[in-house]
Amino acid sequence: MKTDVLIIGSGCSGLYCALKLPSDVKITIITKSDFASSDSFLAQGGMCMQRDENDFESYFEDTMKAGHYENDKKSVELMIRTSPEIVKDLVSFGVNFQRDEQGNLLFTREGAHSRNRIVFHKDITGKEITSHLLEAAKQRENITLLEYTKMTDLIIKEEMCIGAKVEFQGKEDLIFAKETVLATGGIGGNYEHSTNFCHLTGDGIAVAKRYGVELKDMDYVQIHPTTLYTKEKKERSFLISESVRGEGAKLYNKNMERFVDELLPRDIVTAAILKQMKADGRDYVWEDLRDIPKEELETHFPNIVEHCRKMGYNVFEECIPVVPAQHYFMGGIKVNHESKTSMEHLYAVGETACNGVHGKNRLASNSLLESMVFAGRAADDIQKRLKGKVCKVSA
């Protein structure tokens, strides 16, 4: 098979990259599982955006502080400045963010944010965004989407990427491309406890390493403080969104005493929970959602309420047990501000890439935004390369 652009992965970054390319560019998107089984669909809390010009400095500082000031400042600025454009784009694709009676966007807050600046759709923001991007991609005649198609290797010629080897229904095939984009997601499938889908095992990072493509911050792994504790081993841990704490939920030890400021950065809250679990001699701590008005719980967090109910907990009347789990990978394939890797004709976007936005620790709800901002920049760069010159290497 031959294509202009091969995108490996069907989360929000891969889909947005495809949608930002011109209609005369032939695009092939492959995904290891079904299209709905990407972590982009799982994002609960929402997506950050710069509310107004006065918000820039505080948003920038919040991101830098959460990342322990190891962030790439230019990447952070690009992400924040582009955020209103991303929201406008998503609305044009049909994404329905929560609004007030006058039609203005509503904003929620999560840990380490100095103000409310997160747009959301109930507690399934990722699903709302990614499903609309997927539907838009399906409508484009220039985009071919292939499910259950696993990338097993890159095709390299003269130290340049010219496509990928893939496996479908047990048979291997080759897809040649002028430009290849790795959008293979995170590494959670390698962990016993993770909020990620189990098939997301860092495949893009593995093949990049195989060919000496530069990597960055490989030890920067974020643990989410609060997932629903269960004795039974699940394929993935169920996330209790940080937005719940942003709206007033509290964390308690075994004696029902608060032991941490719930809105501190995730790594700090996680460390406090692990310390408290050890002190309590338990595998969990308690999270109390009862301070949140019932109507707010039912409208903002219906899926969390329902999942807890199925697991035997009534969040309106009792606390729920929570435990930290692997959640997000800040490191990955090193890319520049156009999402280009150190190998010619190879890009990386989303969680598999590291452009330095997140630093050592990701600020809550920056992931969806960052993924699409730099996927869009990749699309712009690819478009210029395809128009500007013929691919250096032919299949």
Residues carrying an active site annotation: 266
In the block, tokens 């701590």 appear at: 285
CA dist 36 → 17, 133, 216 (Å): 17, 11, 28
Residues 94-97: contacts with CB under 8 Å, at least 24 apart? 94/132, 94/135, 94/136, 95/121, 95/128, 95/129, 95/132, 96/121, 96/128, 97/121, 97/128
In the block, tokens 């990614």 appear at: 130
* Angle in degrees, CA 44, 48, 54, rounded to 5: 155
Cα–Cα distance measured from residue 253 to residue 269, given in angstroms and rounded to the nearest whole number:
13
Size (the chain), residues: 395
Instruction: Say if residue 303 is exposed, middle or buried (CB neighbours under 10 Å; 0-12, 13-18, 19+).
Output: middle
Cα–Cα distance measured from residue 352 to residue 355, given in angstroms and rounded to the nearest whole number:
10
Run of H or E residues at 332: strand 332-334
The three-class DSSP label of residue 368 is helix
Nearest to 61 by CA among 22, 114, 108: 114
Quote the tokens at residue 8.
């490996």
Quote the tokens at residue 116.
């409310």
Cα–Cα distance measured from residue 230 to residue 204, given in angstroms and rounded to the nearest whole number:
31
